[in-house]
Amino acid sequence: FGSSRIRLRVSGESASLTWRPRALGHAKMEKANPRGVGSDEYELRPLRRDDYSKGYVPLLCQLTIADSLTEEGFAEIFAYRERLAEVYYTLVVEHLPSQKLVATGTLVIEAKFSRGGSKIGHVEDIVTDSAHRGKGLARDLLGALADKAKDIGCYKVILDCNSKNVPFYEKCGYRTCEMQMRLDIPPDNDFVVSPKSDLGAQ
């Protein structure tokens, strides 16, 4: 793996959800950004139980709808993911001077019956705080998540993104492949798949 665009302090604690990240940087990433900050400013680490108080939910709200998640709800989801520690791997980047989280990303492992029982990594919820963008934090997150996927034997890593973000992910080594399809399920679960749908085609 090549050099990272930004130097981060890398750590792993016993009170965290996932694993201890290795040194950062991805082979297919671009060269280091000379505007990168020092390792005394940012720390890459696993998500922790107390990260609700460090702004994890407001950070997610810069990507998706998450503002209704209470501290109790966060704790319940954290405990659920802890029980599935071989499935969910979540990293965060903490801005040490402010003690606030400024970037996050999650790797979800899918065990396949096909391809000889292989595994696929799904990258989810990649977001960087608007005030800390342009410093390579998301690239370092993606590199660390790719490291983990490789370590546990995934044969590929996939993600969904907005079309405007395609150039960024291409710079991180990803390529456009196939098409995402979506089925929205109403809150009352009152929906029926059309009988015209050929679900056996895939």
**Which pTM was predicted?**
0.78
Burial letters 70-79, b for 16+ CB under 10 A, else e? eeeebeeebe
Place of tokens 């080594």: 173
Domains of the chain: 9-178 (3.40.630.30)
119-to-29, 136, 152, 157, 158 alpha-carbon distances in Å: 24, 28, 8, 9, 11
Tokens matching residue 6: 């930004």
Provide the 3-class DSSP secondary structure of residue 66.
coil
Which residue is it, tokens 């934090």? 137
Q: What is the pLDDT of residues 11-31, one digit of tens each?
A: 655 445 445 565 444 333 333
Q: What is the pLDDT of residues 140-195, one digit of tens each?
A: 999 999 999 999 999 999 999 999 999 999 999 999 998 999 999 888 766 555 55
